[in-house]
């Protein structure tokens, strides 16, 4: 910068400022390269998407009232709490969207890619499903047999009850129709010959 006595304006040294601008550009470029190298780094290896091995609990808190204060931890506050992402979702649909979403799966260490199936894995899956179906069929057969046996026993009990009732009725009818021996011998007959119940009073 030069100051002449006859000129009151400042004069700037262009070369010096161009040099400063180049230094600043170089420093910014180095910083950007460092950030890019850190980002690029070794790629994170994530697992393929897997089937969930647990049942999602959506209805354990249904119909229950909870008192929430300032000191209540987020896991016990209203809504559905995700312990992987440490967040609370207010309704079940959004909670299902969250646990099936990209952010949650990344926090679990999985990518959104699915493992490509080979012929052997498909055959193994078919065998596994076949075994499960056979086990279910066996369980179902066992259950149906048990229910059938229980029904047969109940029918047998009912039949025996009916038989006992009929036997009691027959005995009561016989008792009611029997005329006292003394009266029958005086009158000269053994009964009145009617099917209705009738009592002879003396």
Residues 17-51: tens digit of each pLDDT: 899 999 999 999 988 887 777 666 566 678 888 88
What was the pLDDT predicted at 182? 65
Query: Rounded to a whole number, what is the distance in angstroms from the first to the last CA of the chain?
Result: 153
Answer yes or no: is pLDDT of 89 > 50.
yes
Q: What does the longest C-alpha to C-alpha distance in the chain come to?
A: 172
What was the pLDDT predicted at 18? 92
What was the pLDDT predicted at 202? 46
| The token pair that represents 166 in the structure block | 């009929």
What was the pLDDT predicted at 163? 92
Q: Is 136 inside any structural domain?
A: yes
Q: Is 168 inside any structural domain?
A: yes
What was the pLDDT predicted at 191? 56
Q: For 54, how many CA atoms within 13 A lie in the half-sphere containing its CB?
A: 4
Q: Is 44 inside any structural domain?
A: no
Compare 46 and 119 and report the one with higher pLDDT.
Answer: 119
What does residue 47 show for φ and ψ, rounded to 5 degrees? -75, 160
Task: Quote the number of domains for the chain.
Answer: 1
Answer yes or no: is pLDDT of 196 > 80.
no
Answer yes or no: is pLDDT of 80 > 80.
yes
Quick one: average pLDDT of 174-187?
Answer: 64
Residues 54-69: tens digit of each pLDDT: 888 888 888 888 888 8
Q: Is 127 inside any structural domain?
A: yes
Answer yes or no: is pLDDT of 128 > 80.
yes
The 10 Å Cβ neighbour count of residue 95 is: 19
Q: Is 129 inside any structural domain?
A: yes
Answer yes or no: is pLDDT of 198 > 60.
no
Domain with 139 in it? 119-174
Sign of CA dihedral 102, 108, 111, 112: negative
Q: Is 163 inside any structural domain?
A: yes
Q: How far apart are CA 89 and CA 7, in angstroms?
A: 71
Q: How far apart are CA 200 and CA 176, in angstroms?
A: 10
**Poorest-confidence range of 105-109, 127-131, 154-158?**
105-109
Q: Is 135 inside any structural domain?
A: yes
Q: Is 2 inside any structural domain?
A: no
Answer yes or no: is pLDDT of 90 > 60.
yes
């Amino acid at each position: 910068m030069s100051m002449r006595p006859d000129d009151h304006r400042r004069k700037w040294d262009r070369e010096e400022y161009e040099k400063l601008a180049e230094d600043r550009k170089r420093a910014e470029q180095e910083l950007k390269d460092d950030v890019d190298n850190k980002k690029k780094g070794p790629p994170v290896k994530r697992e393929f998407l897997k089937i969930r091995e647990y049942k999602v609990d959506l209805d354990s808190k249904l119909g229950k009232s909870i008192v929430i204060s300032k000191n209540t931890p987020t896991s016990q506050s209203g809504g559905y709490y995700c312990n992987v992402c440490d967040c609370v979702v207010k309704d079940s649909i959004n909670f299902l969207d969250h646990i099936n979403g990209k952010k949650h799966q990344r926090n679990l260490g999985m990518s959104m890619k699915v493992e490509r199936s080979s012929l052997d894995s498909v055959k193994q899956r078919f065998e596994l499903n076949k075994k499960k179906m056979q086990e279910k069929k066996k369980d179902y057969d066992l259950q149906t047999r048990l229910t059938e046996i229980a029904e047969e026993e109940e029918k047998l009990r009912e039949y025996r009850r009916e038989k006992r009732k009929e036997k009691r009725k027959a005995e009561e009818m016989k008792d009611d129709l029997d005329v006292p021996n003394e009266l029958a011998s005086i009158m000269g007959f053994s009964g009145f010959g009617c099917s209705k119940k009738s009592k002879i009073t003396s």
